[in-house]
Structure 1
Amino acid sequence: MNLIQAKGLSHSFEHLLYDDVNIDIKEKESVAVLGVSGSGKSSLINNLSTLLKPKSGIVNLNGKNDIYSINDDEILSIRKNEIGIIFQSHYLFRGFNVLENLKVASILTNQKIDMDLLEKFGISDLLKQQIGELSGGQQQRLSIARVLQKKPKIIFADEPTGNLDKNTSIKVMEVVFNYLNINNAAMLIATHDIEIANMCDRIFYLKDCKLVETKK
């Protein structure tokens, strides 16, 4: 089953970013998008994840066809219940400690705090730490754990390992890939990291306004 599908997707700001993008991503599948800065990787993630309406084209998510044709309440429901988005910035609540951040997410998504997941990310002993006391890498691991705790069917990730060292990046992504397999989920990840991209099932390049699949 295709969880993510784009047909004829195009987007532009001052200039055209990409045109006639077509992509299908199935359950348990991970797809990486590579491209130079400014090529449109983040905009593509935003178009596919309900955050930014494309200039043209259709986006289908988890059986919901043409999501930008449905009402705002339905889009919010998809965003809340079916999608997890890992941003370049962690967007944690700085006035709260780690546990409080997780509790807020737990309440909003009706999911329990997953202590086993926190252990896998190496942050289970940081629950009483204020966000400002964490390193950039710890903050990023917490933000990724918070997304997985939501139990999304679809994950969109924009440079999720940018604040992590090489070894930690690989360990974190292994946890994410395991999540996809266990939960029959799918992921699209925008990254500059070739090694992370090679861990994915498929790789695309966004170049000259076109999204083209490449052989690994």
Structure 2
Amino acid sequence: MQLLKATDLSHSFETLLYEGVNLDCNEGESIAILGVSGSGKSTILNHLSTLLPPKSGSIDLLNQKNIYSLSIDELLALRRYGVGIIFQAHYLFRGFSTQENLAIASFLAHQEVDMKLLERMGISHTLSQQVGELSGGQQQRVSIARILCKKPKMIFADEPTGNLDKQTALSVMKIILEFLQERGAGMVLATHDEEIAKNCTKIFLLENKVFRQIK
């Protein structure tokens, strides 16, 4: 089943950033967008994840046609129940514990915190700690677990393993990919790490304003 289809996206600020962005994602698939810093890969993620309308083109997401024609309430419902976004910044509630951060996100999506997932992510021992006391890598894993506990049908991730050492990054990536298969979900991630990207079903390269598939 197709979860996402982007057709002829283009965007510009003062000058053209990119054009001709076409991709689709089906259940269980993962898509990596490679590109240097400033190339526009994070902006593409913002388009796909309902946060920023492109200058032109259309996006169909989770059976919603041309998502930027939806009402604000319809977009909010899509973000709350169908979409999970992993940002480069953690956006955790720093005055709250790990458990409270996870519980809030899960409650809003009408889901429960998956304790087995937390054990696999190596953060179950941090549940009572305030997230401000955690290392950067631990905070990153909490932010990823928070999204997986929502059980979204489509995940968008901006450098999701950027704050992790190589071994931990690959381990977390494996957990995410297994989640996609188990839930029939899809993912688009932006990264500059080719080793992370090569684990994905499809790879696209954004270079010199051109978006093309290389796997």
TM bracket, shorter-chain basis: over 0.9
Give 1:173's aligned amino acid.
M
1:128-186 CA-partner distances (Å, limit 9, x unpaired): 11111100000000000000000000000000001000000000010000000000111
Which residue matches 2:88? 88
Which residue matches 2:23? 23
Distance in 1 (alpha carbons) for counterparts of 2:109 and 2:18: 33
Which residue matches 1:156? 156
Q: Which runs of 5+ in 2 are unaligned?
A: none
Distance in 2 (alpha carbons) for counterparts of 1:29 and 1:102: 25
Which residue matches 1:111? 111
Identity within the alignment, %: 58
TM-score (norm 2): 0.98
Which residue matches 1:129? 129
CA RMSD of aligned residues (A): 0.8
Distance in 2 (alpha carbons) for counterparts of 1:31 and 1:37: 18
| Residue 50 (structure 2) pairs with residue 78 (structure 1) | no
TM-score (norm 1): 0.98
Distance in 1 (alpha carbons) for counterparts of 2:62 and 2:7: 15
Distance in 2 (alpha carbons) for counterparts of 1:140 and 1:167: 14
How far 1:65 sits from its partner (Å)? 0.7
Give 1:55's aligned amino acid.
K
Q: Which runs of 5+ in 1 are unaligned?
A: none
How far 1:100 sits from its partner (Å)? 1.1
Runs of 4+ in 1 over 2 A off after TM superposition: none
Distance in 1 (alpha carbons) for counterparts of 2:72 and 2:112: 27
Give 1:97's aligned amino acid.
S
Which residue matches 1:102? 102
Aligned positions, number: 215
| Residue 67 (structure 2) pairs with residue 67 (structure 1) | yes
Give 2:165's aligned amino acid.
D
Give 1:120's aligned amino acid.
R
